[in-house]
Amino acid sequence: VVLKNYQDAFVFVREDKQATSIYEAMTAAPLVVEGYVGGERPSSHPNNEPKGEGICFLANGDLVTTSEYNATFGSSASAYPTFRYARLTDVPAQVTFQDGVDGYAGTADTYVWSLSTEQGNARGTETTFVADYNSGTDERYSLLKFDLSSIPSNATIVGCDLYLFIDVEGQFFELRKMYQAWDEASTFTSLGGLPAFDDIDAASVPDARHGNYDTITGAVQIKIPVATVQDWVDGAVANQGWVVYGTTNADGLQFRSRQHATAADRPKLVVRYTVPRKALQLAVASNQYVSRAHDAAWNLSAASGFTAAGWIYRDTNGLAYFAGKYAGIGMREWNLYSGSSSFLTARLCADGTTPTVFTSILSVSATDKWYFVALRYDPTQVGAELILNRDGSKDATAHAGGIFSGTAALRLGASDHSLADSHDGRMDAWGFWNRALSDAELEAARNGGRGLEFRHLTAAQRNGLIAFYDLGEASGVRADFSGNGQHLTPIGGPTNADGLVT
C-alpha cells in the first residue's frame, strides 16, 4: 500500500499486477462491511461518514502535476497512480455491461493494423483484440466501447471499473479516450491511419496506464476516471470508447473480445452512479400544497419546545409560505415563510390570536439553490428563543410568551392566509419534533449540505419526532416515514422533481 500526501490530499493504492485492486483498508485482512460504499472498514477516512466513500481515478491536473501523472509507473518516488475519495450519502446503483450477460449486447471491439498488407482488413469478428507496438510500420491499436444508454441521463457517476482478460501476455499498455467515430468494420485505411493522440482523433492524456504483465494472463481490473463516463452519459462527449495500445516495443498483448466463447472473459465495464432522489414539486399557479389535519400528536408544550426543519428550492422568490399550523383567529400557532423581500421569517403565537413576527437577516432569494431552513422554539434559553437556520447561519430573537397548541392543520407549501402566497418550487426531507433540537442536531440534519432521509436518522435524532417526510413520491399521499401515521394529503396535484439527496 502506498500512502501519499499531495497538496494535503492523502491518497493510497495497492498495486496488484493481476487485479490492480484498490483498498481503503490499510490492513492485511480488510473487513468488508455490507452497504459501506467502497469501504472495507468503518474506521476508514472519513471516520464519521454514515455510508462511506466512493473512489475514483484522478484526472490529469487534479491534485497531481501533469509530469507526475504522465510518468511511467515506478520511474520515480512520486510516480504513483493517484486516487481520491468522493463522499457519498448513500449506496450507489451499480450496473454491469458485458456481452452475453443479462441480455446485454452493446459492446464493440476491434483492432486496426498499420502493416501494409493488413491496412484494409477489418478485425471486428475475431475472438481477441491486440495492442502491439512495433516501431511504427507494424502497430496494432485496439478499439473498445460500450453502449451506456441505459444509464439515466441525470446520473452522477461515482465509480467505474473496466475488466479485460489477457489471453496472450505482454508488457505495458495504455487506454485513451477515442474521439474519432468507428465501428467493428473500421480499418487502418478507413480511419485514415492510426488514431493520433491530439485531442481530435483521441485524447492527449491517457485514462489509464498498466504495465509489466510479462508472463501474466487472466483478468485485470482497470480504474476508469469518472469524468470520462460522466461526459458520455451527459452527452458532452460522444461515446467512442477507448483506444488500447501497447507502449513496449515488440511485446504487445492480446485481450479476449466480445466474440470469445467464454462470456465471463469478455470485456466488462462496471459503472456505479447515483441519481437525484425526488422531492415535492409545488406550482403556485395551480394552488398546490400538502396538508395534514390536526391530531393529538401535534399538541405542543411550551416547556419542551418545538422544531421544524427541512429543505426548500425556490422557482420564484418573494412572499411564500413553507410550513406552518396557522389558520384563523384562535387557531394561530406558528409558520415559517419568506417575506416579500425574501428574508426568512416566522410567526409564533402564544394565545392563538396575536402573533409575534420575526424577520431574520437571512436571505432566501436565490432561485437556483437548495436552502436548509429550521424554526426552533427553545424555552430553555433566556426568555426563550426562536432560531432560523439557513446553510449553518442563524438568527435569534426573544419570545417569552410561550407557544400556542391549537387545532390548525399542518400545511407544507401554503398558508391559510392566501394561496397566492404559496411556495413555488420544491421541498425535500422535512421533519417536525416536539422538542428543541440542539445546534449539533440541526447541523447533523443539514449533513454538510447533503441532507438526510428518515432512514439516515439515528435513534437519538428520532427522539421526539412527530413526523418526517422524505417527500419523494411522484403523486398521491406523501408518507410520514416516522411510523406515526401523520401522512400528508396532496392538494392541487403536486408532482415531484429532482431532490437534494443523491
Task: State the Cα angle at 452 between 492 and 291, rounded to 5°.
Answer: 25
Q: Is 206 a residue whose pLDDT tops 70?
A: yes
Q: pLDDT tens, 354-376? A: 988 888 888 899 998 899 999 98
Which triple of cell numbers denotes residue 451?
441532507
The CATH number that applies at residue 288 is: 2.60.120.200
Q: Taking the model in full, what pTM does it have?
A: 0.61
Q: Is 11 a residue whose pLDDT tops 90?
A: no
Q: Is 448 a residue whose pLDDT tops 90?
A: no
Q: pLDDT tens, 229-272? A: 999 999 999 999 999 998 877 777 899 999 999 999 999 999 98
**Same domain for 293 and 210:** no
Q: pLDDT tens, 265-308? A: 999 999 988 888 899 999 999 999 999 999 999 998 877 889 99
Say which residue, 316 or 415, is predicted with more confidence.
Answer: 316
Neighbouring CB atoms inside 10 A of 493's CB total 11
Q: Which of 165, 149, 147, 152 is nearest to 105 (CA)?
A: 147
- pLDDT of amino acid 14: 38
Residue 16's pLDDT band (cuts 50, 70, 90):
very low
Out of 91, 106, 136, a domain closes at 91
Counting residues of the chain whose pLDDT is more than 90, the rounded percentage is: 53
Kindly compute the dihedral angle of the four CA atoms of residues 389, 392, 398, 404, in this order, to the nearest 10 degrees.
30
Q: Which of 178, 216, 172, 217 is nearest to 198 (CA)?
A: 178
Say which residue, 59 or 302, is predicted with more confidence.
Answer: 302
**Same domain for 122 and 56:** no
Asked if residue 315 lies in contact with residue 425, where contact means CB atoms within 8 angstroms, the answer is: yes
- pLDDT of amino acid 173: 86
**Same domain for 264 and 313:** no
Q: Find the mean pLDDT for residues 49-59.
A: 36
Read out DSSP for 76-131? STT----EEEEE-SSPPEEEEE-TTSTT---EEEEEEE-STTTTT---TTSSEEEE
- pLDDT of amino acid 223: 81
Q: Is 437 a residue whose pLDDT tops 50?
A: yes
Q: Is 389 a residue whose pLDDT tops 80?
A: no
**Same domain for 155 and 44:** no
**Same domain for 222 and 188:** yes
- pLDDT of amino acid 501: 59
Q: Is 96 a residue whose pLDDT tops 70?
A: yes
DSSP 8-state symbol, 286? G
Task: State the Cα angle at 388 between 382 and 392, rounded to 5°.
Answer: 110
Out of 64, 91, 118, a domain closes at 91
**Same domain for 105 and 85:** no
Which triple of cell numbers denotes residue 180?
474519432
**Same domain for 316 and 347:** yes
Out of 251, 274, 297, a domain closes at 274
**Same domain for 409 and 290:** yes
Question: Residue 66: left if φ>0, alpha if ψ -120 to 50, beta else—which one?
Answer: alpha
Name the domain count of the chain. 3
**Same domain for 104 and 140:** yes
Mean pLDDT over all residues of the chain?
81
**Same domain for 249 and 169:** yes
**Same domain for 134 and 54:** no
Residue 65's pLDDT band (cuts 50, 70, 90):
very low
Q: Find the mean pLDDT for residues 320-346.
A: 93
**Same domain for 99 and 207:** yes
| Residue span of the structural domain in which 418 resides | 278-498
Kindly compute the dihedral angle of the four CA atoms of residues 381, 302, 451, 439, in this order, to the nearest 10 degrees.
10
Q: Is 31 a residue whose pLDDT tops 50?
A: no
Question: Of 161-175, 378-392, 393-407, which range is least confident?
Answer: 378-392
The enclosing H or E element of 164 equals: strand 156-168
- pLDDT of amino acid 251: 75
Q: Which of 410, 378, 133 is nearest to 245 (CA)?
A: 133
The CATH number that applies at residue 168 is: 2.60.120
